[in-house]
Amino acid sequence: MLIFALKFLKVRVFNSSEKFPAFENPVVTVGAFDGVHRGHAKILAQLVATAKRIGGESVLVTFNPHPQTVLHPESDFFLINNFEKNLSLLEANGVDNVVVIPFTKEFANVSYDRFLKDILIEKIGAKIIVMGPNHSFGKNGEGNIEKAIVVAGRYGVSIETISEFVLSDSKVRSSQIRRFITAGEIEKAEELLGHPL
C-alpha cells in the first residue's frame, strides 16, 4: 500500500502490483483524473452512487506518472495538480479505493481487452465499470466504450456511461483547463475545476 498517502487520507490507496483485498461488489472507473475537475466530479458521483446502490465499493484506477509525461516527454504538457492533491480531491468526492498503476512504455503496449480482463475484471473483480465520454484506453488508445461493452459483456460485467459535462457552453476537460492556466486565465480555469488551483 502507498504509505505516503495513508498518512493523511482515509481513502485506501493500492499499487497495482499488490495483492488486493477482496473488494465488495467493486464499481470501477479508470483515468488520469488530473485536476479532478467538474467533469471528473460527475463521473465520480455516478461511481459512488452506483457502488452504494449495489452495496459495493468504489474503485478508481489511475496512473502515476501521468501517461502523457511518459509517451510525450518532449511536449509542453504539465500537470494541473500534483498526485497527492489529486488523491485528496478523489477522497473529497467520496471514492473508497484508488488503485495506482505505474505507467511505463511497456504498460502502454497492453491491449484494451487484456487491460479490461486481466486488471479490471480478474484482479479487481469489477461488477460495473463507469466510463466517461470520449474515453479511450489500451495500446494506442484503441479501446473505447463500444469495445468495452463487448469485452465486459463476456464476463457478465456491465458498463455505465456518463455524458460530457458542459459549463457555459465549454466542455470541461483537463486540456482546456491547461490552456486557461497557460494563458494566465486562472479564474476561468478554476471555474472549470470547481475548486482553487
Q: Please report the domains of the chain, with CATH numbers, ordered by start residue.
A: 23-193 (3.40.50.620)
Distance CA 174, CA 35 (A): 7
In this predicted model, what pLDDT tens digit does every residue of 139-155 receive, in sequence order? 988 989 999 999 999 99
In this predicted model, what pLDDT tens digit does every residue of 100-138 receive, in sequence order? 999 999 999 999 999 999 999 999 999 999 998 778 888
Q: Are 70 and 103 in contact (CB under 8 A)?
A: yes
Distance CA 78, CA 81 (A): 9
pLDDT > 70: percent of the chain? 94
pLDDT at 9: 64
In this predicted model, what pLDDT tens digit does every residue of 18-46 receive, in sequence order? 788 889 999 999 999 999 999 999 999 99
Q: Is the pLDDT of residue 3 over 50?
A: no
pLDDT, averaged across the chain: 90
Q: Phi, psi (5° rounding) for residue 104?
A: -130, 170
Confidence band for 169, pLDDT divided at 50, 70 and 90: low
Distance CA 151, CA 145 (A): 10
The cell numbers describing 124, all together, are 479487481
Q: Is the pLDDT of residue 192 over 80?
A: yes
Strand order in the sheet with 158-161: 12-15, 97-101, 58-63, 27-30, 128-131, 158-161
